[in-house]
Amino acid sequence: MPNVRNYLRKKAERKEKKPNTHNFGDLILKHRMAIITRTLLVLLLCAGLGATIYVQLKNQVFSSYITLSSIEKQQYDSAACLSYVNGFLTYSKDGISYTDTKGNALWNQTYEMQNPMVRVAGTRVAVADYNGHIIHNIDQAGNSVEIDTNLPIREFAISENGMVAAVLEDTNITWIYLYNSQGDKVAYVKTTMQKSGYPAALALSPDGKLMAVSYIAVENGSTKSSVAFYNFSSVGQNFVDNFASGADYVDAVIPYITFLSSDTAFAVADNRLVIYSGDQRPKSSADVFLDGEIQSVFYSGSYIGLVFLDTTGQGKYRLDVYNTSGTVVTSQYFDIEYKDIILYKDSIIIYNETQCMIANLHGLVRFHGEFENPLLLFSPVSAKKYLAVSKDSIDIIEMK
């Protein structure tokens, strides 16, 4: 009988322990779920706070600026400035130099030119004289390779890896020579007015494997433009004369063509904007007809800016910013007689020697004001900091 009592007592105890074990597991699960829920809430809160701060910074309006640093310098009246890497280039008929934001002269290349033309691609710089026959190919360290074309230079381009393409004038023939970064001729294209037209513009992809050329010809009394892409990679060796792709445009003049990246290029005609895609055989991916006369062309890695005279009364000029799909992202109206327009990330910077306007891609004007001293160059360093170069100083300013 005691054994039966013991058996029944132990059985009852086992039954009582089972629900206790199950309840303990539920408690652990609930605790874990509570931790996960709190963590997700904290992450969502941080993401929301970060997004709010990001939007506020993008839409922040500035009323003035302060000068963070200022370095004295001497600038010749005939010299011009270009933004370059961590500073700027200064060039004239006598030479070109690179100065950083601290005023250090990092390199200087002397020459004698009547009409110097400067091309910049990444850290590479090329300088040539119109109608001259020498091209200086310079890297960021100041190492220079001198290319003697032996023929008058009409136009040229440089890639980020130092490849140089040049349009050279000859009797009844116009040559396009391609040189590597050491100055060796690696390819050429022979053109004539009768066969292809005159090469009015050319560009190289960042890696130098693709060359885009705009030809202009007169056919049956009307002007025609043709865009040709040449591929100088191993793939291009399979094409006749390295010709990869091309298109004709009747009643159009295309004086401007360039690459945004290794697989995206665009051409601007007097009546249209054409965007090309492809890193081997580029094809037209967008063809936008324009209803106004283009005044200027500007671009960044992601956007293309075309300036028109405004006819609506909202400003003297209208800047249409297109993405790489050919869609207008924003239209900015302004009255400034601009020296330059910079598309920097999601900002539009319009300036001349004495005035500046900064807007975002949503049309919000974030700053509109005047400089204390006439500027030769105004270039963004970050979202709020800018390099301001005048005849007498190199300043870093911050918008407030």
Closest CA to 161 of 137, 185, 192: 137
User: Which DSSP symbol is given to 251?
Assistant: T
User: What phi and psi, each to the nearest 5 degrees, are found at residue 163?
Assistant: -70, 145
Give the count of beta carbons closer than 10 Å to the beta carbon of residue 275. 21
Q: What integer pLDDT is reported at residue 55 of this predicted model?
A: 43
pLDDT along the chain (400 residues), means of 10: 56 52 61 72 60 50 94 84 97 96 95 97 98 98 98 98 97 96 97 94 98 94 94 94 96 96 97 97 97 95 97 96 98 97 97 97 95 95 95 95
Could you give the CA distance from residue 47 to residue 170 in angstroms, rounded to a whole number?
63
pLDDT at position 38, please? 73
Q: Which two tokens stand for residue 39?
A: 């963590």
Distance CA 296, CA 156 (A): 20
At 386, list the tokens.
Answer: 């800018």
DSSP letter string over 253-290?
---EEEEEETTEEEEE-SSEEEEEE-SSS-EEEEEEE-
- The reported pLDDT for the residue numbered 23 is 60
pLDDT computed for residue 74 by the predictor: 79
Structure-block tokens of residue 356: 């500046």
Buried b (16+ CB within 10 A) or exposed e, 85-124: eebbbbbbeebbbbbebeeeeebebebebeebbbbbbeeb
